Amino acid sequence: MAQLQISRDGQHYGSYDEEDVRHYLQQNQILLTDQYWTEGMEDWQPCSALIPPPIPTATPSRARGSHVCPSCGVSGSPVSHTPGSMAVELVLWLFFIVPGLIYSCWRLCARRNVCPACKNPMIPSNTPLGQNLLK
């Protein structure tokens, strides 16, 4: 359990257990505008940072990621994948401007978001098909 130091108006208090600080925050014994510091932190931070953001209840629990992979079932954020090779592109540009241009266009056009696990295209998980895959 991290030991926090609290600072208010230049006065330092503590150390307190992180759990205790949250408790004091709820009782307004420590204010959200007070600052806290713990070992490993570079600077003092406002205590408001200790309050976890409310969990949005409207989000369905199934939607773990923004996209789902139909090939391997991985859900998450797709990664950008550019086909072809940067080296080929460079050589074409150096020696043949026009093929280089075409090659660059093709790479850009064919760039798509793919599954980080199997490199297949992912589909948005908020579509009916995506919801089915997440079941």
Q: Which residues bind Zn ion (CB under 5 A)?
A: 69, 71-72, 74, 115, 117-118
Smaller CB separation from Zn ion, 14 or 116: 116
Q: Give the end-to-end CA distance of the chain in Å, rounded to a whole number.
A: 37
Smaller CB separation from Zn ion, 72 or 108: 72
Closest approach, Cβ 122 to Zn ion, in A, equals: 7
Closest approach, Cβ 119 to Zn ion, in A, equals: 7
Closest approach, Cβ 126 to Zn ion, in A, equals: 18
Strands (E), 33-125: 35-37, 45-46, 67-68, 75-76, 79-81, 112-114, 123-124
Smaller CB separation from Zn ion, 8 or 64: 64
Count of CB atoms situated within 10 Å of the CB of 68:
27
Smaller CB separation from Zn ion, 99 or 116: 116
Mapped onto helix, strand or coil, the DSSP state of residue 70 is coil
Comparing C-alpha atoms, which of 85, 65, 80 is closest to residue 116?
A: 80
Give backbone dihedrals phi and psi of 110, rounded to 5 degrees, phi first: -85, -5
Closest approach, Cβ 114 to Zn ion, in A, equals: 8
Please say whether the beta carbons of 15 and 3 come within 8 A: yes
